[in-house]
């Protein structure tokens, strides 16, 4: 086998347009919570406070961004999504207060409703989730808690690389269309 071919094996080619990746892209993110889009564009500046991982709408709807990981059982890396969930005002304030506190990992998980659609899954908007604090400097971990939902099952049990490729291809096809 030529060395060149050996390395090529790891490459990932987008089916929709042929774009080549050195390796399969497995980390994706949403920059905004779904609720954002329910606010008319001309009112967003006034009603929304948006930071990289925190968002407040109308001073009463609170959101934060965390990492949802789906284990890939036959691959060395996992599929991950940096996505938004709602969070109560109390927990939102607690998160901000504890942001640089090493003891934050002892906090109880924060309940929230998922705020992004995960491609290829049936509706994932407003399904149950909990956010688990990580060490300072690491993004909060999101666990799906919606009973009977495929995403809950997949996060708990993992998926095969072939299935991950389907999800990735779906995401790329959407991205490459626009």
Contact residues toward Zn ion (CB under 5 A) are 14, 16-17, 19, 172, 176
Cβ 71 vs Cβ 159: under 8 Å: yes
Token pair recorded at residue 97? 């207060």
Strand, coil or helix: what is 42? Answer: helix
Taking the complex as a whole, the smallest distance from the CB of residue 150 to Zn ion amounts, in Å, to 25
Could you tell me the smallest distance in angstroms from the CB atom of residue 37 to Zn ion? 24
Nearer to Zn ion, 24 or 172 (CB): 172
Smallest separation (angstroms) from Zn ion to the CB of 174: 9
| Residue closer to Zn ion, measured from CB, 20 or 45 | 20
Question: CB-wise, 16 or 162, nearer to Zn ion?
Answer: 16
Could you give the CA distance from residue 94 to residue 20 in angstroms, rounded to a whole number? 43
CB of 12 to Zn ion, least distance (A): 11
Please identify, using beta-carbon distances, which residue of 91 and 169 lies nearer to Zn ion: 169
Residue 113 sits at the vertex; the CA angle it makes with 110 and 114, to the nearest 5 degrees, is 110
**Do 68 and 85 form a contact (C-beta atoms < 8 A)?**
no
| Residue 159 or 172 having the CB closest to Zn ion | 172
Collapsing DSSP states into helix, strand and coil, what is residue 43? helix
Closest CA to 80 of 24, 15, 148, 9: 24
To Zn ion, the closest distance from the beta carbon of 170 in angstroms equals 11
What per-residue string of b and e applies to 151-171 under the rule 16 or more CB within 10 Å gives b? bbebbeebbebebbbebbbeb
């Amino acid at each position: 086998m030529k060395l060149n071919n050996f390395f090529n094996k790891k490459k990932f080619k987008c089916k929709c347009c042929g774009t080549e990746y050195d390796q399969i892209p497995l980390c994706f993110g949403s920059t905004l919570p779904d609720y954002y889009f329910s606010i008319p564009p001309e009112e967003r500046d006034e009603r929304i406070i948006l930071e990289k991982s925190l968002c407040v709408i109308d001073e009463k709807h609170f959101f934060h961004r965390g990492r949802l990981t789906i284990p890939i059982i036959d691959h060395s890396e996992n599929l991950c999504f940096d996505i938004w969930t709602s969070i109560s005002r109390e927990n939102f304030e607690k998160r901000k207060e504890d942001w640089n506190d090493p003891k934050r990992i002892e906090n109880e998980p924060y309940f929230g409703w998922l705020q992004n659609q995960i491609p290829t899954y049936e509706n994932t908007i407003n399904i149950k989730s909990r956010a688990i604090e990580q060490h300072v400097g690491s993004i909060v971990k999101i666990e799906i808690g919606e009973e009977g939902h495929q995403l809950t099952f997949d996060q708990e049990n993992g998926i095969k690389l072939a299935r991950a490729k389907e999800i990735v291809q779906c995401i790329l096809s959407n991205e490459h269309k626009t």
